[in-house]
Structure 1
Amino acid sequence: MASEHEGPTEPTTDRTAEDSGIHWDSIIRNTVLIIVLLVLLWLAFNVRLPSADSLQQMIASWGWAAWLVFIGTYALVALTPIPVTVMAVTGGLLFGTFEGSILSVIGVFIGCWGAYWIARGLGRQATARLLGSHYRTAERHLNQAGFQAVVMLRLLPGFPYWPVNYGSGAFGVSQPDYLLASALAIIPGQVSLVAIGSFISDPNVANGVVVGIGWAVVLVMTWWAYRRWRLVKDQSPEPANG
């Protein structure tokens, strides 16, 4: 006979796939990303595309409107599963390291904040369905260790932004913790990605140094956040069974 005090129904997931560490959505997403990169590589060798200089001149002719368009586009991308890496590298190509970093940080921060409040409005159950296979990962990491978990997941290579955004709103990470952790983790990651785009456009020593320093900071912060997250989780009481 079913228990009269059953907990809230969790979204159906493939436990076998999860336990074995197979995340098909991540495999599909990475495969699509590789295909897109190969297509872009083919276009670069076979199609005459505008040079970076001509694109930058066109953007400059738009004035401040180009900043608003880029920030708005980036914010919308941050609301979706589309990798924000694409926008950050594009920011470096179009605006350079300094200007591109500022615009990228503003754009992605607005998008992340917006997703947080969308999840707050939708509620936990609706957001859980939206997260799909990312539900359990977000819940496991964000419960009871919000600040450290947000920093770690933001910096974790290959882990997308959008489950962190929606999961933080759904699983009760406080807004001050979420905003501070996001700002702390977003800046070095975005600067390093923007610098890659700028280096592609103008391969010089300065841009190369920014890329190296940016990724070194990301690695150190990821290690620190993981250690802090493990400490908080180890000190948290285990949930009672039954």
Structure 2
Amino acid sequence: MTDQSTDPTKDAQGFSLKRSLPLVVLVALIGAAFYFDLHSYLSLQTIAENREALTGFVAGNILVAVAAFVAVYIVVVALSLPGGALLTITGGFLFGPLLGGLATVVGATIGATIIFLIAKTSFGEPLAARAGPWLEKLRDGFRKDALSYLLFLRLVPAFPFWLVNLAPAVLGVGLGTYVIGTFVGIIPGTFAFAFVGAGLDSIIEAQQEAYNACIAEKGADGGCSFALDPGSLLTPEILIAFAALGVVALIPVVIRRLRDRKSAA
């Protein structure tokens, strides 16, 4: 058995180069993706310019198209690239709200799980081993109602998706709970955007007309833009609905706390 004190790949706190290798690779891939500006391809203009080619390919190769879409979504989520909302809308546009929404949920869950596993093995478990009482107390509290807390974080669109992917790894959430909480928690928002995507064709036509009119009036260098901010699709009504769902997810936690206090009294 190798003595930890003489193993240069591992320090006294349990961190090791072998454990950290997946994280190093992931960070390198994220850096490369941003360096080559890959997320710039996830734009409404790209979809509009390739609309006929995309819809034609989907019509003749539905299974391959869905598999490719899921693979792209996994990469986007795993590398924490911006554009997930627009990609979800694209799924609804290409495959319809139901199939597009399901493909998105599957791809996003797998991508998020990849990040979770890398974070958990690379620094989540070693951090827990060296954590002080305050973090251990936080971990214990989170684990007791992990599913409810995770559903709340997923349902309420106030937390960055990448952050919710990482936090449970540090807070000791189990893999099964994480997968279920992620899969179920992203369903409402995903299908909301997928249904918007089902009407994307008319949105593209309207944007295309406005863009062409701008070019005709101001020229190619006139600052005309062809873009849709997916965040603008989150109406106050949708945000309120998501917040309400998040509150519902926390009801079991409140009930448990009340019962614990009653028992203690």
TM-score (norm 2): 0.55
Judged with a 3 Å threshold, the aligned counterparts in structure 2 of structure 1 residues 216 and 184 are, in CA distance, closer, same or farther, namely farther
1:73 aligns with 2:75: no
Equivalent position amino acid for 1:225 in 2: A
Identity of aligned residues (%): 22
Q: Distance in 2 between matches of 1:236 and 1:113?
A: 32
Q: Distance in 2 between matches of 1:165 and 1:217?
A: 22
Q: Match of 1:175? A: 175
Structure 2 unmatched runs, 5+: 1-12, 14-39, 129-134, 204-233
Deviations 1:156-211 (A, max 9, x none): 224222222222122211223222222221212211111111122258xxxxxxx9
Q: Match of 2:246? A: 222
CA RMSD after TM alignment: 3.9
User: What number of residue pairs does the alignment pair up?
Assistant: 181
1:188 aligns with 2:174: no
Check conservation: 1:144, 1:233, Cα contact below 8 A: no
Judged with a 3 Å threshold, the aligned counterparts in structure 2 of structure 1 residues 149 and 112 are, in CA distance, closer, same or farther, namely same
Judged with a 3 Å threshold, the aligned counterparts in structure 2 of structure 1 residues 58 and 48 are, in CA distance, closer, same or farther, namely closer
Shift of 1:52: 3.9
Q: Distance in 1 between matches of 2:126 and 2:65?
A: 35
Q: Distance in 1 between matches of 2:101 and 2:242?
A: 15
Q: Distance in 2 between matches of 1:70 and 1:103?
A: 7
TM-score (norm 1): 0.59
Judged with a 3 Å threshold, the aligned counterparts in structure 2 of structure 1 residues 122 and 232 are, in CA distance, closer, same or farther, namely farther
Q: Tell me which structure has the larger Cα radius of gyration.
A: 2
Shift of 1:215: 6.9
Q: Distance in 2 between matches of 1:186 and 1:139?
A: 23
Equivalent position amino acid for 1:68 in 2: A
Kindly report structure 1 stretches of 4+ aligned residues shifted beyond 6 Å.
Answer: 125-128, 138-141, 211-216, 233-237
Check conservation: 2:116, 2:168, Cα contact below 8 A: yes
Counterparts of 1:44-123 in structure 2 under 5 Å? 49-50=48-49, 52-83=51-82, 84-123=84-123
Counterparts of 1:2-81 in structure 2 under 5 Å? 49-50=48-49, 52-81=51-80
Structure 1 unmatched runs, 5+: 1-7, 9-35, 129-134, 204-210, 238-242
Shift of 1:227: 4.4
Judged with a 3 Å threshold, the aligned counterparts in structure 2 of structure 1 residues 229 and 78 are, in CA distance, closer, same or farther, namely farther
Shift of 1:74: 0.5
Judged with a 3 Å threshold, the aligned counterparts in structure 2 of structure 1 residues 117 and 49 are, in CA distance, closer, same or farther, namely closer
Equivalent position amino acid for 2:64 in 1: A
